[in-house]
Amino acid sequence: PAFRELLLQELSQDGCIKAVGQADVIRNQFSGATFERIIDCSGKCVLPGLVDAHTHPVWAGDRVHEFAMKLAGASYMEIHQAGGGIHFTVEHTQNATEEELFNTFKHRLERMRNAGSTLVECKSGYGLNLETELKMLRVIERAKQSMDIGISSTYCGAHSVPKGKTATEATDDIINNHLPKLKELKLSGEIHVNNIDVFCEKGVFDLESTRRILQAGKNIGLQLNFHGDELHPMKSAELGAELGARAVSHLEEVSDEGITAMARAKCAAVLLPTTAYMLRLKQPQARKMLDEGVIVALGSDFNPNAYCFSMPMVMHLACVNMKMSMNEALAAATINAAYVLGKSDTHGSIETGKQGDLVIINSSRWEHLIYQFGGHEALINYVIVKGQVVYENERCETMSSY
């Protein structure tokens, strides 16, 4: 994308982009107009706001002790099966107040936004029981109403099988109790959930339970977007294609048939480079997916296992470890991620009529946003959501970013 050609643009009152083009053309077009604020972007680049297609940002209790265990050789599933991992976070999240959860979540969203994310998918899934899942979803709903960042919310009550239940019992509970409650809350206007997610994995939810939960979610109007083929080949990709899922995340262990099916069904792949990196998993086959025409998106997967807020770092990892080009990584972290959330008509690119979500960086080459690993803190000059500056980085002006 020729972002360097984009010299000036204007945002209308409704927060949407009014025009895109050469500075002199636009200057003529709007010669009589007045502006609340004009930002001179000479020597800078304007990019679409980044879209993070996969996060778990509402929780209490960090897992730094487990990071040490993993460095010492324990695997993700060994820790999970011993009652740690997601179970540890569930216990702490169940005990946390709604206010505590909201405050930490708000802070995390600010850090994501300051790293350039303007639209973020946010999952529940550390409650597992109905009461705590609803507590998490209320926290997300409150942030949707009050924070200057876009949020797409996901019910992930099937993130793990709760202690004391079998997977079948948990599946029945979700279908018979959780989903009807979500439907009721949507009708009353209290909570609007956008997507449904399941952790389809050996020892968690098998393919049949995943199918039942996703189908029931689809029946109440949720978009399907689930974890699959991460640690073991599960035929999750094939299931996603069959059910008309918007996306399947992870896919380190996807089959060849699964890739073909996803391409045909326009079911996107959400790749999560932080998780593959920190768990030292086999890298997902991004190149094969791209070559076969799968819509590839990226997510930070921010969670207590993979503690990363930054989509610029995610793009860097995708380029180095998954062999994506910088153009592919940027598309995956903007328009393709917006597609995953059902929002590519309004988000994910700089086009007239789309929402004015932008990142302005202090470099004349946009590629610096990916190239400078961890350098985004000094490089991102402004973050703009719906035409309003929501983050302005004073440090940026004084620091050299070259």
Ligand X SMILES: N=CN[C@@H](CCC(=O)O)C(=O)O
89 contacts which partner out of ligand X, Zn ion, none, CB within 5 to 8 A by kind? ligand X
Question: Shortest CA distance to 344 belongs to which of 278, 244, 247, 253?
Answer: 247
* 301 vs 357, beta carbon nearer Zn ion: 301
* 88 vs 339, beta carbon nearer ligand X: 88
Q: Are strands 8-11 and 358-361 parallel, antiparallel or unpaired?
A: unpaired
Contact residues for 166 (Cβ-Cβ < 8 A; gap 6+): none
What is the number of the residue whose Cβ is closest to Zn ion? 301
Single out the segment in contact with Zn ion by CB under 5 A; choices: 96-104, 239-247, 259-267, 296-304.
Answer: 296-304
Q: Does 238 bind ligand X (CB under 6 A)?
A: no
Tokens, residue 12: 């209308």
Single out the segment in contact with ligand X by CB under 6 A; choices: 41-49, 93-101, 303-311, 376-384.
Answer: 303-311
Q: Are the CB atoms for 54 and 121 separated by under 8 Å?
A: yes
Minimum Å gap between C-beta 366 and ligand X is 28
Minimum Å gap between C-beta 400 and ligand X is 36
Q: Does 52 bind ligand X (CB under 6 A)?
A: no
What is the phi-psi region of residue 159: left when phi exceeds 0, alpha when psi lies from -120 to 50, beta otherwise?
alpha
In the chain, the amino acid numbered 308 is C
Question: Which x/- pattern over 297-336 shows residues binding Zn ion (rule: CB under 5 A)?
Answer: ----x-----------------------------------
Minimum Å gap between C-beta 276 and ligand X is 10
Question: Shortest CA distance to 252 belongs to which of 285, 293, 206?
Answer: 285
Minimum Å gap between C-beta 27 and ligand X is 47
* 279 vs 378, beta carbon nearer ligand X: 279
Q: Does 86 bind ligand X (CB under 6 A)?
A: yes
Question: Which x/- pattern over 185-224 shows residues binding ligand X (rule: CB under 6 A)?
Answer: --------------x-------------------------
Single out the segment in contact with ligand X by CB under 6 A; choices: 143-151, 301-309, 370-378, 392-400.
Answer: 301-309
Q: Are the CB atoms for 159 and 123 separated by under 8 Å?
A: yes
Tokens, residue 94: 């169940």
Dist. CA 139–CA 150, nearest whole Å: 14
Contacts with Zn ion in 16-45 (CB under 5 A)? none
300 contacts which partner out of Zn ion, ligand X, none, CB within 5 to 8 A by kind? none
Minimum Å gap between C-beta 274 and ligand X is 9
What is the number of the residue whose Cβ is closest to ligand X? 305
Q: Does 304 bind ligand X (CB under 6 A)?
A: yes
Question: Shortest CA distance to 273 belongs to which of 220, 190, 337, 329?
Answer: 329
**Cα distances (Å, whole numbers) of residue 262 to 191, 252, 331:** 31, 14, 18
Minimum Å gap between C-beta 328 and ligand X is 22
* 173 vs 230, beta carbon nearer ligand X: 230
* Binding-site size, ligand X (CB under 6 A): 13
199 contacts which partner out of ligand X, Zn ion, none, CB within 5 to 8 A by kind? ligand X
Minimum Å gap between C-beta 310 and Zn ion is 16
275 contacts which partner out of Zn ion, ligand X, none, CB within 5 to 8 A by kind? ligand X
Single out the segment in contact with ligand X by CB under 6 A; choices: 107-115, 138-146, 213-221, 299-307.
Answer: 299-307
Q: Does 284 bind ligand X (CB under 6 A)?
A: no
312 contacts which partner out of Zn ion, ligand X, none, CB within 5 to 8 A by kind? none
Binding residues for ligand X, rule: CB under 6 A, are 56, 85-86, 89, 199, 227, 230, 275, 301, 303-306
